[in-house]
Structure 1
Amino acid sequence: MGFHDPIKTLESPIEVMYLMHKVFMSHSDHTLELVSKVETGECSIADVKRSFDLWIKHLLYHVQTEDIYMTGPLKEKKLQDGRMVLKENVSEHNDLREMGADLFAKIGKDARESLIEDVLALDDQNHEELLDQLRIADSAIIETLGKQTILRRSIRHIYRSIFDFIVVEFDHFENEESFVLPLVHDQMSYAEELECVRKLLIDDDSDNPTWILDFVRKNLVDSDRKLLDEISENFQ
């Protein structure tokens, strides 16, 4: 099943993952699209950073919760090629965490370095004024100065980095749907699947526990949203 294919039915609670993956990939693509619009002035690097921050917030919560409540209780399975399903899944989660953290820092660093290089190219008066501004939060600086202060090479670098991250994310979601979800079907009861999905969609430790569920619902088409609601209305 492709991430943009229509989903007609969910046979069990864990298949809500198809909907979540669809939303996450759509948001990833949207973030990449924003990067391509920075040079044309249709958006700012601050828009990219906000979109990326939201992407990483959801992805990190998602993989951490999976490690504890989805793959954690499962028994390992060895594939014909020798790979271990759960070990591979955890390894992919670690790769996503590491790449996400590096990219999070890189977006801010590249934007900041671009600003500094442009500042140094200005006359002394503007130089001093903008160096003062660099002491403000990066996102506020970028928002204020706009796309003219962002070097093209930095935008291209950010674009390539985000594209590479999307490829890793895509491969992970495909592997998870192909190899991990069948194990969940085989080893968990309906009630256990439902609780696992509840943990993935409801953050019990947050002041706003439904922030994941709300985000997923908002970004689904009506037919997919109906499928999600049919599962989530059974949460205890």
Structure 2
Amino acid sequence: MATEDLQRIEDPIDVMPLMHKAFRAVSDRTEAMAAEATTFDDIARLTETFGFWVKQILYHATVEDEVMTAPLKDNQPARDNETEHAELAGKAGDLASFIAMGNAAGIEESVRDAAFSLEEEQHRALEEKFYEVESALKDVLGEKKVTARTIRHIHSRLLGVRILELDHFENEEAFVCSLVRDEIDEAGQLYMIRKLLMDDTADDPRWIIDWVYSELDDTDKALLKDLESRLKGAVAQPA
């Protein structure tokens, strides 16, 4: 459900587009940083920003699977939602490792793309040769600068995560949220939304909701503030 022109979020699950909006703001910034990176300092900042994005994705997906998808287990959209979470988390984790590799990342990505296009029986024999070339190219580069190849491949992987994220959000808002709206009462919805926005295991339980606030405009902040006032009694899972 779109949040434009709303004065109040009636069904708690309809806060989800606001949370997704916050995610898109982070992924927009991360993609822009990747496209503009030219130095090792740029890569370091990109790694930090992407790490925060991954932290949010993993927490969000884990809690959704626990408190939102689990009650809807028998529904196909809910099962699809869990599959998308696993795929998204995997892509994000792979990219975090990829960024940390620096200049070798672009070379290794090209090597693997070539290897995986070959027949299975050729992989073992050719991979050893690929690694020899990779090592030689890395020595030539000398890790003295961030190359255009590194940036291209990081950016390409980042786009893969973004596309998957956007597809997932679209599916969730169109199908899963409607199931929650129809099948889980307000108390149950408030409980799951509180779990998504408040991390009671963290030193700062508000680290998620405060981040979401920081990414929203004043109108959306007011909607979230109104909903937050309804979360205070949603600490325990409804029977």
Task: Provide the TM-score with structure 2 as the length reference.
Answer: 0.78
Shift of 1:120: 4.0
Q: Which amino acid aligns with 1:35?
A: A
Secondary structure in 2 matching 1:44: helix
The match for 1:143 is none
Which of 60, 71, 74 is the matching residue for 1:73? 71
Q: Is the 8 A contact 2:99 2:105 kept in 1?
A: no
Please list, as runs of the form range in 1=range in 2, the aligned pairs for 1:81-230 lying within 5 A after superposition. 84-111=76-103, 120-121=139-140, 149-230=145-226
Shift of 1:8: 2.5
Shift of 1:205: 0.6
Shift of 1:76: 2.5
Q: Is the 8 A contact 1:45 1:111 kept in 2?
A: no
Shift of 1:189: 1.0
Q: Is the 8 A contact 2:88 2:164 kept in 1?
A: yes
The match for 1:139 is none
Secondary structure in 2 matching 1:71: helix
Secondary structure in 1 matching 2:99: helix
The match for 1:32 is 31
Q: Which runs of 5+ in 1 are unaligned?
A: 78-83, 131-147
Shift of 1:113: 5.6
Q: Is the 8 A contact 1:7 1:224 kept in 2?
A: no
The match for 1:53 is 51
Shift of 1:162: 0.4
Aligned residues: CA RMSD: 2.5
Secondary structure in 2 matching 1:104: helix
Task: Provide the TM-score with structure 1 as the length reference.
Answer: 0.79
Specify whether residues 6 and 30 from structure 1 end up closer, same or farther in structure 2 by C-alpha distance, changes over 3 A only: farther
Q: Identity of paired residues, percent?
A: 37
Shift of 1:110: 3.5
Secondary structure in 1 matching 2:71: coil
The number of residues matched between the two structures is 204
d(CA) in 1 for partners of 2:5 and 2:56?
A: 22
d(CA) in 1 for partners of 2:105 and 2:188?
A: 49
